[in-house]
Each structure stands twice: as structure tokens, then as C-alpha cells.
Structure 1
Amino acid sequence: MERGSSKHGPRVDEQMSREVEGLLQGPGAGGSRVDESRQPEPAGEDQPEPKTLTAGASRGGNPQGMSMDDVEGRSRLGRYITMSALPGDREALIANARDNDAPADIVDALERLPDGTRYQTVSEVWAALGHKNETTRW
């Protein structure tokens, strides 16, 4: 069979084929695409193995005085209230949340805020909605 390209020979073709095999066929066919030096080392003999948490389990590290649900709820609220809206009153927060395509439950919650109060942070808004923030450590 006559080759149409004279850039390299069959040996180089074979080597190049092996180099990209993992990229073309995935990790199951000839190894992972990840460089071995970047893979995490296993736990030592006296160290516990890391475990994957199931859905709903507490990940730990919650701020003191807040549950994981509180942390996630406040974070979700903060996704729809940008820093440009703060400090702001109820109307500014509602308008900002709508501009950021907030879901109906977030907008409904903001509509329950008292009128005439300016909020400096998302944490203040969260507390005004009746939720817990972290407690101060002294």
C-alpha cells in the first residue's frame, strides 16, 4: 500500500496512535487521561479512608448556630441578590432578584420583608426573613 504522506513512517504513526488512545477511547481502554503524578495518594496506614457522603448528610464545618439547610438556603438567596442591590430596601431587592431570574419562592420571600428597612448584607435579609445566621465567637 502506498502512503500519501511522507512526514513520518509507520513506527511514528503507531507511537502517535498509542499517545492519543486514552483520549479517543476513554479511561477504560488503556488508562486514564490524568497524569499519574496528579492523582491523589492513598491514605496512610494509620489514616482513615476518605468517604463519600450520601445526599442530605451534613458536610460538617457549618458556621456555629446554623444548620446545613440554613447555609444552603442563605447561599441560594445570595445567588439572586447581587452586591449592586446592597444596601437596599425591599423594593430594590425584589427588582434585583427578578432581574437575576430568581425563582418565585425567592421573590415571594422578599415580598414579605418589612417596608422601609434598608439591608446592608444578604445575612441581614436572611435574618429578616426569620432564619438563623451564625453566632459570633468571642
Structure 2
Amino acid sequence: MERGSSKHGPRLDDQMSQEVSGLVQGPGAGGSRVDEFRQAEPAGEDQPEPTTAPTGDLRTGSPQGMTSEDVEARSRLGRFITMTALPGDRATLIANAQDNEAPADVLADLERLPEGTRYQTVSEVWAALGHTNETTRW
């Protein structure tokens, strides 16, 4: 078996280099990886532009069963109830919120909690205040 040289001449090396330059260097370096005939056609005059992101409340990242406002309000409540207060009853939660300098509206909400109930999580406190938590996805 005869083995010859595997090197090319300079002209063939340059040609081969240009053929793969779009793959090696990306679209900004003298060409694109996508051929013109593979690019999507623009939308028609009376057609909306295509998008991959849905509109509405789905884009906020809020869990199913809650609005983005609910998520923000529950999060705000949770900022003033630390983990050291949980599990805790109404008096413990109010004292903890006062220690964390909770605003008057948060303290007023905690005052509405029924006495004699121990809450394990902020979500339980939120539900006891009459709000809804996220629903479980099956």
C-alpha cells in the first residue's frame, strides 16, 4: 500500500478554508450559516409577526391559580415573617413582623388571623387571610 502526502496545495487549502469559514467563525465573518432560501418569509400585510412567547399573564411566570399581583402580595407578606416565627400562631407572627418593621397594612392583615391556629408556612398564613395559593399541576 502506497502512502502519499496528505497535504494540499496552497490554492486548495484557501478554497477549503473559505468553504467552512461560516461554520468556524459564525455569521459575522463573511457569510451566514443559513442559506437565503432557508430563511422564513416575512408575515403578510394583514398578518401578525410570529412569536414564540405567549401574551398575557402567562409571560409573568406566575403559578397556575394566582395572578402576578397575588404573587407579589404574598411575597411582600413573607418578607416580614421570618422562618424563626414558623410554625407559629397569630401572636408569634405579629411579634415577628413587628420585629422586622412590617408596615401597618401587613400588621393589620396579621391581626385578622384567627386565634389558636398554628401556621407552618407563609402560604398557610396567606390562605387564612382569604387569598388563594397556586394550584397543583398534575
The bucket for the TM-score relative to the shorter chain is 0.5 to 0.7
Q: Which consecutive segments of 4 or more residues in structure 1 shift more than 4 A?
A: 45-48
Question: 1:61 Cα shift?
Answer: 1.6
Give the gaps of 5 or more residues in structure 2.
1-38, 41-49
The residue type equivalent to 2:110 in the other structure is L
Query: What's 1:87 paired with?
Result: 87
Query: What's 2:131 paired with?
Result: 131
Q: 1:37-72, CA deviations, whole angstroms, 9 ceiling, x for partnerless residues?
A: xxxxxxxx8796x9xxxxxx8542210000011100
1:1-138 aligned within 5 A? 58=57, 59-138=59-138
- In the alignment of these two chains, the number of paired residues is 88
The residue type equivalent to 1:88 in the other structure is G
Q: 1:90-129, CA deviations, whole angstroms, 9 ceiling, x for partnerless residues?
A: 0000000000000000000000000000000000000000
Percent of pairs with identical residues: 71
Give me the whole-angstrom Cα distance separating, in 1, the residues matched to 2:125 and 2:60. 24
The residue type equivalent to 1:102 in the other structure is A
Give me the whole-angstrom Cα distance separating, in 2, the residues matched to 1:62 and 1:122. 17
The residue type equivalent to 1:99 in the other structure is D
- CA RMSD of the aligned region, Å? 2.1
What's the TM-score once normalised by structure 2's chain length?
0.58
Give me the whole-angstrom Cα distance separating, in 2, the residues matched to 1:110 and 1:60. 27
The residue type equivalent to 2:80 in the other structure is Y
Give me the whole-angstrom Cα distance separating, in 2, the residues matched to 1:120 and 1:64. 22
Give the gaps of 5 or more residues in structure 1.
1-44, 51-56
Structure possessing the higher radius of gyration over alpha carbons: 2
